[in-house]
Each structure stands twice: as structure tokens, then as C-alpha cells.
Amino acid sequence: MTPLLAQTEAASGSAEFWVFIVIGAVALGSALSMVLLRNAVHAALMLVVNFFAIAVLYATLDAQFLAVAQIIVYAGAIVVLFLFVLMLLGVAGDQAFTGRIAGQKTTAVLLGLALFGVLAAGVAAPFLGEGTACNVPVEQRVDAEGPLCEGLAVANADGNVRGVGFLIFTDYVWPFEVTSVLLVVAAIGAIVLGKRREDPGELTDAPASAVPALRDDDDDEAASDEDAAEPAAAGASEDDEEGTR
């Protein structure tokens, strides 16, 4: 943070608060429009706006590394993945689908409001008035009352990125490595699931009686997942069934 900016914030006092109000309004508005918009691609673009707003929110909460990671990982990679799949599957929103559950939207509104009530009463209300989120500049924070803000100053003393990196490679090196293994497994699983097979009927959901024979190219591992693999020739008839539904 530049000294000029720090001076400005120290002068105005509650600059973070107003940044938070504006950014929170942007994030909530984009989240609502993501949920309500008919066009799926528009919804994905609203998700980008939401992720950028949340990145700014992280920055105001003294999590600069998370803010940058949020932009790179979510607004960069994941939304591109979403858009790619949307373009691949067709960009129609869900207005084309006829629901089978009566009163689904009304129930969703009621349950969402109920969950907000529970969360606000159970998680947020205990911090009403007390418990300050210490997102004030470091200059103010050191001589603020109580030990709370000093802890954050200590945590970010060498810079946020350095602190996060130190913690990842010392205290949390084991979860970190497990997470990397998880990512590799997820990538391999996505490739295996998304791979186009020569036999179009493989992994379909036809009953086992309609299955002529198991494929035998997984010679060794086939025994373990025989139950899961149900190749059949029912792939062609699915399309006609969809049209009349």
C-alpha cells in the first residue's frame, strides 16, 4: 500500500467500509443476476464479475495473495472452463427445460431465505458489535487497542505472499501435498471421463440385460469395475426419447 493511500485512508477513517459496501453490492448484484439470468453465457459472465468483486473484497481483508489467486484461478481458469463446456453443450439457458417439480422456484426462494436466516443468526450475529475485522492500514493497526490487530500486523509483516508461502511449506506442507495429489487425480479423472470412446454405448445407462458383452481392453482392471461398466447399444435410441419427452 502506498503511503499516500494509507494517509488517505487514515484520514477518511472508514474507507474500507465504503469499499466493502460498494464491492459487496456489486458482488451480490452479480450473484443474483447470475442466478436469475436466462441465458447461460450471460450467467457465466456475471460469475466473472462476482469473482472479481470477491477478489477486491479479499484485498480489503488483507488477503492480497488470495485476491490474485482468485482472479487467476476462478475468473481466469474456471470461468473459461465453464464457458467452454457451455459452448460445447449449447448455450440455451434453462428456460428450454420443463421442470418436473411443482413449485420449485418458490421452494428455492423459501429455503434460501431460511438458510440466510439461520446463517445470519448462527454465524454472523455473535459478532454483532464486537470482534473487529482488522482491515485497517498497518500504521493504524499497531497502536490500536487490544491484541487483535497486532496479530494481523505480525502475520503480514513480511508481506502477505511471503507469509502464506512460509505457512504452506512449513506447517501445512502435508495438506498442501495432498491437495496437489488431489488435483492430479481430478485432472486424470476428468480426462478419463471426458475421453471420447470408440464404442458409443459404453458407460451408458441401459439395463444390464441389454448389454451384449463387456469390453475387454482393460484386461487386468476390468474385474474390479465390472459392475460399473455397462456397455450397450442404447445410445442411439436415447435421442428419440428425448425429443418426445
Partner 1 sequence: MAAVYPLIFAALLFSVGVYGLLSRRHAVLVLMSIELMLAAVTVNLVTFWAIAGDALLTGQVFALFVMAIGAAEIGVGLAIIMLIYRNRASVNIDDADLMKY
- What minimum distance in Å lies between the beta carbon of 85 and partner 1? 5
HSE-CB for 173 with a 13 A CA cutoff: 4
- What minimum distance in Å lies between the beta carbon of 143 and partner 1? 15
- What minimum distance in Å lies between the beta carbon of 212 and partner 1? 17
In the bound state with partner 1, the residue whose beta carbon lies nearer, of 93 and 211, is: 93
In the bound state with partner 1, the residue whose beta carbon lies nearer, of 95 and 220, is: 95
* Dist CA 34 CA 46 (whole Å): 5
- What minimum distance in Å lies between the beta carbon of 48 and partner 1? 11
**Residue 58 grid cell:** 479479499
In the bound state with partner 1, the residue whose beta carbon lies nearer, of 198 and 219, is: 198
Q: Are 144 and 136 in contact (CB under 8 A)?
A: yes
Backbone φ and ψ for 229, nearest 5 degrees, come out as: -85, 115
Q: Are 10 and 137 in contact (CB under 8 A)?
A: yes
Q: Are 75 and 44 in contact (CB under 8 A)?
A: no
In the bound state with partner 1, the residue whose beta carbon lies nearer, of 219 and 244, is: 244
